[in-house]
């Protein structure tokens, strides 16, 4: 999830986002630096708001700390893709990963979102358990992790499943 820089400016509800990526040039480097790598199938894709990823205590903390910053709070309405994902193979990651996981990513490429997820299609995903958009509310939210909930973005090697890529990753996973 490193190597991703997002600029966020909010004016009266108008959002301007810019994503600048510098992907690892080496698949081996990406694999080594990624928390979880999974091959799976998309079961569903829905659009949700960033605020839906926080629990009520976190939302209370965000609202208290940013109550005088309406443009900052508007970031809670950033649209995400919520992807229900069936794991086929876990190359790297936690042993307690369920067969069905949830993946979040920003909806738009301008916010570094990986927008290619499509129901029924298979992907190799490079995932983190940390919300890469927490920088917007880092005063109120630290290290948010939820069981079987992961994040990805277009700055990773997440891509449609290809047998060649699968073979290469299997070599790293040994």
Half-sphere exposure in the Cβ direction for 143 (13 Å, CA): 0
Domain that holds residue 161: 4-172
Which CATH number does the domain housing residue 132 bear? 2.40.50.120
The total of structural domains in the chain comes to 1
Q: What is the pTM of this model?
A: 0.85
pLDDT on residue 3: 47
**Nearest-angstrom CA–CA distance, 170 and 166:** 6
- Local confidence pLDDT in tens for the 174 residues of the chain: 444 544 444 433 444 556 888 766 789 999 999 999 999 999 999 999 999 998 888 888 888 888 887 777 888 999 999 999 999 999 998 777 889 999 999 998 888 899 999 999 999 999 998 887 777 777 666 656 788 999 999 999 999 999 999 999 999 887
């Amino acid at each position: 999830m490193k190597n991703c820089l997002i600029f966020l400016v909010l004016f009266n509800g108008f959002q301007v986002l810019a994503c600048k990526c510098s992907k690892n040039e080496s698949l081996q480097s990406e694999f080594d630096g990624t928390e979880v790598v999974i091959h799976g199938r998309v079961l569903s894709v829905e659009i949700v708001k960033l605020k839906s990823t926080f629990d009520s205590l976190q939302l209370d903390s965000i609202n208290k700390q940013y109550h005088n910053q309406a443009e900052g709070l508007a970031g809670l309405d950033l649209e995400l893709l919520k992807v229900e994902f069936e794991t086929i193979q876990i190359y790297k990651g936690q042993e307690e990963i369920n067969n069905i996981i949830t993946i979040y990513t920003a909806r738009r490429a301008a916010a570094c979102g990986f927008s290619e997820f499509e129901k029924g299609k298979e992907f190799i995903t490079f995932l983190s358990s940390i919300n890469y958009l927490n920088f917007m509310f880092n005063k109120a939210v630290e290290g948010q992790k939820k069981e079987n909930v992961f994040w990805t973005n277009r700055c990773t090697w997440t891509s449609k499943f290809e047998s060649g890529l699968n073979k290469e990753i299997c070599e790293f996973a040994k």
